[in-house]
Structure 1
Amino acid sequence: MGHDEPPQHQVVANDLRRRITNGEWEVGAKLPSRARLATEYRVGANVLQKAQERLIIEGLLEGRAGSGTYVAAPRERRRMVRARHREQRGGSPFRGDMAEIGRSGTWEAHSEARTPAPDGIALRLGIDTGELCVRTEYEFLADNQPAQLSVSWEPMSITGETPIVLPEMGPLAGLGVVERMRSIGMEVTTCVEVPRPSRASQAQANLLGIGLGDPVLVIERTYYTGEGRAVETADITVPDARWEVAYEFGIDA
């Protein structure tokens, strides 16, 4: 194979994509076994597997444990509305967002306490570089499918000696930043969001089920008290192929 030729698995993926697009297999149809397709394309089983995995990431195929590989239903691109009232409903804003469009919102989270704030995060939080924070990684799911990612930072100078030091543990676990901070006397009054287009890293692609370099929207969000003190900042990553983000603003009379 020459240096300018694509790898075998990409060639096979391209041809399978063509056959699916041309309707050789309908939505919901089961593809022939990997062994049969590998023989048809005259490639090894590992090459065929990589080709199908590429199409699963793209959403053209879906694997069913113990059953085989099927043509997936086209993904619909849903609208994710970020509005002022999302912080006024109580409970998790994400769960409320999903409920409004008829989906079940869940998440998985992992927190690390006593994590030094890097330069950019420290600047956003108005603290010194290296000041200790709780860093939490989130994987948000809509109907058990990846919807968005988030990396959150909270200064331990605010939460360190309180029951809410870990966002997903304790009496207010999972209730959102606004309610948690209110419980320790920090009244959040402002949320600032800065959306920026980006491309998925390999780690983000793996978690979101998209391809390396696929378009994503990264939302830099920071919560402030009425005195202007930042209590939390986060980077929220939304896959562009599945979600469009809309902002809703109330108009004061």
Structure 2
Amino acid sequence: MADGTGPQAPYQHVAAALRDRATDGTWPPGHRLPSRTALGNEFGVGENVIRRAQELLITEGVLEGRAGSGTYVRAPQQRRPMHRTPQHSPGPAPDGFDGTWEAESTAKIPAPPAVAARLAISPGDLCVRTDYEFLSAGRQPVMLATSWEPMALTGTTVVVLPEGGPLAGRGIRERMAHIGITVDRVTEIPRPVQTDRDQAQLLGIATGALATLIERTHHDSTGRPVETADILVPADRWDLTYDIPLTPPPPGT
């Protein structure tokens, strides 16, 4: 950033001009910016300079990118709680989420070593992988998830595809109960991460933006892992809220 003692870099000059348009109402929330080519011609700079300026403003929360659509002035967003424990919502969406989701499942995917370790199976064992894109009420992506289920458990059943068959979208507990498996425990490991380019494009945020990656694993009544997932939650949109029930103390203590 400029320190006040020297000229601004070209992308900072462009960013300042675009920021002014977004904050003074020239470009209202939801306004789609002109193409990078058009902005480059206006400011007399290359498209890489426009890209850097837009990425800076996305990081600041002034703009948002929408995959396959363009760059828009970001509407003010209220942070929302995402209730993680206990989970009452049907389907893969967590409590606190009021939008919809899109999913794509692929069967017979060999388990990568890290996934295999979480599922207590051998690397290369076949799984069903389901990629989820969670959308707000305005159809904007707000979080991502990738789920893995061993085909040794579901491969010959009607619930092999989480979003297909008679129990489509009903959630891991109900689907597994249908085939005689009782899911009674879930573990989660949240970790701070920075989004990569593909993740950022899907979420409309800057590459490298802060997010929380939740490694979630469901276990059955014998302790066997039956599903594991990576849930990517942008840090600027959600407050992860853990509600942990406490057992009453024994009488007389």
Task: Output the TM-score relative to the length of structure 2.
Answer: 0.80
Secondary structure (helix, strand or coil) at the match of 2:115 reads helix
The counterpart of 2:135, out of the listed 138, 141, 144, is: 141
1:166 aligns with 2:161: yes
The counterpart of 1:119, out of the listed 107, 110, 113, is: 113
Deviation at 1:15, TM superposition (A): 1.8
Match of residue 72 from structure 1: 74
| Residues 119 and 129 in structure 1, CA contact (< 8 A), matched pair in contact too | yes
The AA in structure 2 aligned to 1:77 is R
1:132 aligns with 2:126: yes
The counterpart of 1:226, out of the listed 217, 221, 227, is: 221
Match of residue 94 from structure 1: 93
47-56 or 157-166, larger mean C-alpha shift: 47-56
CA shift in 2, pair 1:72/1:148, >3 Å: closer
CA shift in 2, pair 1:190/1:119, >3 Å: same
| Residues 64 and 204 in structure 2, CA contact (< 8 A), matched pair in contact too | no
| Separation in structure 2 between the aligned mates of residue 167 and residue 32 of structure 1, nearest angstrom | 38
| Separation in structure 1 between the aligned mates of residue 172 and residue 243 of structure 2, nearest angstrom | 20
| Residues 128 and 150 in structure 2, CA contact (< 8 A), matched pair in contact too | yes
| Residues 33 and 72 in structure 2, CA contact (< 8 A), matched pair in contact too | no
The AA in structure 2 aligned to 1:97 is G
CA shift in 2, pair 1:83/1:23, >3 Å: same
Deviation at 1:147, TM superposition (A): 1.6
Q: 1:102-113 to 2 correspondence within 5 Å?
A: 103=98, 105-113=99-107
CA shift in 2, pair 1:7/1:192, >3 Å: same
Deviation at 1:75, TM superposition (A): 2.2
CA shift in 2, pair 1:109/1:214, >3 Å: same
Greater share of helix: 1
The AA in structure 2 aligned to 1:168 is E
The AA in structure 1 aligned to 2:91 is S
Structure 1, unaligned runs of 5 or more: none
Task: Output the TM-score relative to the length of structure 1.
Answer: 0.80
Secondary structure (helix, strand or coil) at the match of 1:94 reads coil
Structure 2, unaligned runs of 5 or more: 1-6, 249-253
Can you list the C-alpha shifts for 1:41-90, whole angstroms capped at 9, x where unaligned? 2236x4686367537744424699xxx98743322222211121x24x5x
Match of residue 43 from structure 1: 45
| Separation in structure 1 between the aligned mates of residue 127 and residue 84 of structure 2, nearest angstrom | 26
The AA in structure 2 aligned to 1:15 is A
| Separation in structure 2 between the aligned mates of residue 80 and residue 235 of structure 1, nearest angstrom | 16
| Residues 30 and 75 in structure 2, CA contact (< 8 A), matched pair in contact too | no
Aligned residue pair count: 236
> RMSD of the TM alignment (CA)?
3.2
Match of residue 194 from structure 2: 199
| Separation in structure 2 between the aligned mates of residue 177 and residue 212 of structure 1, nearest angstrom | 31
Can you list the C-alpha shifts for 1:99-131, whole angstroms capped at 9, x where unaligned? xxxx3x211111111111111111110111111
| Residues 12 and 51 in structure 1, CA contact (< 8 A), matched pair in contact too | no
Secondary structure (helix, strand or coil) at the match of 2:100 reads strand
The counterpart of 2:181, out of the listed 171, 183, 186, is: 186
The AA in structure 1 aligned to 2:113 is D
